Amino acid sequence: MTAVSTDAIDLTSPPDRGVATRLSLVAVVTTSTLELVRSSGALLDRAFASGTLPAASAAVVTYVAPALLATVLLVVAGSRSSTGRTSGFPSGRVVLAGVGALGALRLVVQAVDGGLRFGLGLAAAALAVAVLTLTVAFVAARPNGGHQAALGLTLGIGLSVGLQLALGTWDAYWRHTPLGWTVTAVLVVGAILLARLVGSEVVGGRPRRLWVLGPYVALATMMLANPAFASSQDGTRLPWAGGALVVMAAVGFLLLLSPTRLTAGFRIASSILLPVAIAGTFWSHGPVVLIWLAIAEAAAAVTLATALGSRRSAPPTLSRTALVSGVIGLGTILPLLGYQLDYDVPLGFPNAWVVVAAAVTVAGAGLRLRTPAPPGGLATGPAGAPSGSGTIRPDRVPVTINPLRLLVLPSVGLTVIGLWVCAPTEAAPTASTSPSVRLLDWNLHYGVSPETSVDLELIARTIEAQHPDVVTLQEVSRGWVMGGGADVATWLSHRLAMQMVFVPAADRQFGNVVLSRYALSDVTTTPLPYGEGPQQRSAISATVTLRSGTPLRVTSVHLQHRAGNTATRLTEITALLATQPGTVARVIGGDLNAGPGSVEIETLTGAGWSSALDVAGGSAGAASLTSPSVAPEVRIDWVLGQQVTFSDSSVLTGPRTSDHLPVVTTVTAGP
Q: What is the pLDDT of residues 564-610, one digit of tens each?
A: 899 999 999 999 999 998 889 999 999 999 999 999 999 999 999 99
Structure confidence at residue 495 (pLDDT):
95
Cβ atoms of 336 and 401 within 8 Å: the answer is: no
Structure confidence at residue 84 (pLDDT):
61
> What letter represents residue 431's amino acid?
A
Q: What value does the mean pLDDT take over residues 88-105? A: 95
Confidence of residue 6 (pLDDT cuts 50, 70, 90): very low
Structure confidence at residue 384 (pLDDT):
34
- The C-alpha atoms of residue 105 and residue 19 are separated, in whole angstroms, by 28
Structure confidence at residue 399 (pLDDT):
55
**pLDDT over 50 at 390, yes or no:** no
Burial of 4 (0-12, 13-18, 19+ CB in 10 A): middle
Q: What value does the mean pLDDT take over residues 230-238? A: 93
Structure confidence at residue 16 (pLDDT):
53
Structure confidence at residue 401 (pLDDT):
52
**pLDDT over 50 at 458, yes or no:** yes
Structure confidence at residue 533 (pLDDT):
87
Confidence of residue 377 (pLDDT cuts 50, 70, 90): very low
Confidence of residue 425 (pLDDT cuts 50, 70, 90): confident
For strand 610-611 and strand 644-651, is the pairing parallel, antiparallel, or unpaired?
unpaired
CA 232 centroid distance within chain: 12
Q: Which residues of 456-492 are buried (b: 16+ CB within 10 A; e: fewer)?
A: beebbebbeebebbbbbbbbbbbbbbbbbbbbbbbbb
**pLDDT over 70 at 619, yes or no:** no
User: Domain 21-421 falls in which CATH fold?
Assistant: Growth Hormone; Chain: A; (1.20.1250)
pLDDT-wise least confident of 174-183, 229-238, 303-312: 303-312
Structure confidence at residue 82 (pLDDT):
53
Greatest mean pLDDT among 82-86, 420-424, 513-517, 654-658 lies in 513-517
pLDDT-wise least confident of 14-23, 83-92, 217-226, 515-524: 14-23
Cβ atoms of 38 and 16 within 8 Å: the answer is: no
**pLDDT over 80 at 405, yes or no:** yes
Structure confidence at residue 386 (pLDDT):
35
H-state helical runs in 520-619: 566-577, 599-606, 612-616
Q: What value does the mean pLDDT take over residues 34-48? A: 94
Query: Who has greater pLDDT, 236 or 654?
Result: 236
Structure confidence at residue 142 (pLDDT):
84
**pLDDT over 50 at 618, yes or no:** yes
436-669 in CATH: which number?
Answer: 3.60.10.10
Region(s) of the chain under CATH 1.20.1250 = 21-421
pLDDT-wise least confident of 20-29, 73-82, 86-95, 449-458: 73-82
For residue 409, what are the CA distances in angstroms to 163, 257, 405?
Answer: 12, 15, 8
Structure confidence at residue 315 (pLDDT):
81
Structure confidence at residue 375 (pLDDT):
38
Structure confidence at residue 243 (pLDDT):
94
**pLDDT over 60 at 83, yes or no:** no
Q: Please write the tens of the pLDDT for every residue from 134-169.
A: 999 999 988 788 889 999 999 999 999 999 999 999
Q: What value does the mean pLDDT take over residues 366-383? A: 49
Confidence of residue 649 (pLDDT cuts 50, 70, 90): very high
**pLDDT over 60 at 4, yes or no:** no
Query: Who has greater pLDDT, 230 or 374?
Result: 230
- The C-alpha atoms of residue 139 and residue 94 are separated, in whole angstroms, by 12
Confidence of residue 389 (pLDDT cuts 50, 70, 90): very low
Cβ atoms of 484 and 175 within 8 Å: the answer is: no
Cβ atoms of 124 and 36 within 8 Å: the answer is: yes
Structure confidence at residue 609 (pLDDT):
97
Region(s) of the chain under CATH 3.60.10.10 = 436-669
- The C-alpha atoms of residue 526 and residue 577 are separated, in whole angstroms, by 10
**Of all residues in the chain, what percent carry a pLDDT higher than 90?**
73
Confidence of residue 11 (pLDDT cuts 50, 70, 90): very low
Confidence of residue 486 (pLDDT cuts 50, 70, 90): very high
- The C-alpha atoms of residue 629 and residue 283 are separated, in whole angstroms, by 37
**pLDDT over 70 at 373, yes or no:** no
**Contacts (Cβ under 8 Å, ≥6 apart) of 466:** 438, 440, 652, 662, 664
Please give the order of strands across the beta sheet that includes 637-642.
Answer: 520-527, 538-545, 551-558, 585-591, 637-642, 610-611
**pTM, two decimal places:** 0.92
Q: For the chain, what is the mean pLDDT?
A: 89
